[in-house]
Amino acid sequence: MIVTLKEILSKAEEGNYAVGAFNCPTLESARAVVEAAEELQVPVILSHAEVHFDITSLEIMGPILVEFAKKASVPVAVHLDHGSSLENVKKAIDIGFSSVMIDASHMSYEDNIRTVEEVVQYAHEYNVSVEAELGMMTSSGIGGEETQGEEHISEGDSVDYYTDPNVAKDFVEQTEIDALAASFGTVHGMYIKEPNLDLDRLNSIYAKINRPVVMHGGSGLSEEDYIAVINSGVRKINYYSYAANAGARAVKDYIDNNKDLFYHDFTVVAKAAIKKDVKRAMEIFLNKNQCVEN
């Protein structure tokens, strides 16, 4: 069943767990995520990132994700990840997405607010939830999805790029967004060293904004880190790089161990590996709570 991001995260808030948001640029990744969620009977967010439009366009992948959501036996939000413009937000909503992210975090604070306000005004008219970002997400530079139009910084740079809790409060109050993507130490892509999470900052953000916190760069953390951020207010965890890498490694192993090769076998192998990886993540995100109410 298709639901809004606001609905899914409201339930997560009540149950103190997080919902996985998995980027699905291919049919195999979408099938893997939906099958894993249905087997566990947990809610899930199917995302299509704007940066992945060159893999599969919004016009092709969007309707597939919406159809999967409608037929799923669990609550599913269909989400535009890192949208860069109102134009693409409108396209996603027209297709049937129940949630959109507008990422204007690379703009000045004032322009970020103006851009987000415009998207919120439009999306809420259609009962579509809105996520926005404040602070700069860092990048390891290895794999994963990069946000379009943003100058990423590398790991270890100044914490000045992290989200300021007091500014976050003002941002949420002015824009009336449904969820805030905050920067507190995670990175897009594969981790090249242990993540350094600022949990004090995260706790302060959560206490001030009265909204679900979204963690981008959610792949690759330890189970202890996941539980810590969930208990500090994270309700949506974006997860992609490590699942995509699991699929690629499975295909490589298959190629290394088989003589007669056919492309369709690669898709089967990749889907199974992605499903296994995201299913493990979903189990951790539950935070030992049963969380589906039909």
Read off the pLDDT of residues 161-181 as tens digits, 9 standing for 90 and up: 889 999 999 999 999 999 999
Query: Of 24, 116, 139, whose CA–CA distance to 72 is shortest?
Result: 24
pLDDT at 136: 67
Mean pLDDT (whole number) for 63-87: 97
pLDDT higher than threshold 60 for residue 143: no
pLDDT higher than threshold 50 for residue 141: no
* Structure confidence by residue, pLDDT tens digits, 80-122: 999 999 999 999 999 999 999 999 988 999 999 999 999 999 9
| Band of pLDDT at residue 148, cut at 50, 70 and 90 | very low
From the centroid of its chain, how far is CA 139?
15
pLDDT higher than threshold 50 for residue 154: no
Going by the DSSP 8-state scheme, the letter that residue 70 receives in this structure is H
81 tagged catalytic: yes
Rounded to two decimals, what is the model's pTM? 0.90
Check if the beta carbon of residue 197 is closer than 8 Å to that of residue 225: yes
Looking at the DSSP assignment, which residues form a beta bridge with residue 237?
20, 215
pLDDT higher than threshold 80 for residue 187: no
pLDDT at 138: 54
**CATH superfamily label, 5-285:** Aldolase class I (3.20.20.70)
pLDDT at 74: 98
Give the pairing of strands 99-102 and 129-134.
Answer: parallel
Mean pLDDT (whole number) for 265-269: 97
* Structure confidence by residue, pLDDT tens digits, 208-235: 999 999 999 877 789 999 999 999 999 9
pLDDT higher than threshold 80 for residue 282: yes
Ordered by start, the domain boundaries in the chain are: 5-285
Catalytic member of 54, 81, 160, 164: 81
Percent of the chain whose pLDDT exceeds 70: 87
* Distance (Å, whole) CA 186 – CA 219: 9
pLDDT higher than threshold 50 for residue 156: no
pLDDT higher than threshold 50 for residue 78: yes
DSSP state string for 50-102: GGGTTTS-HHHHHHHHHHHHHH-SS-EEEEEEEE--HHHHHHHHHHT-SEEEE
pLDDT higher than threshold 50 for residue 190: no
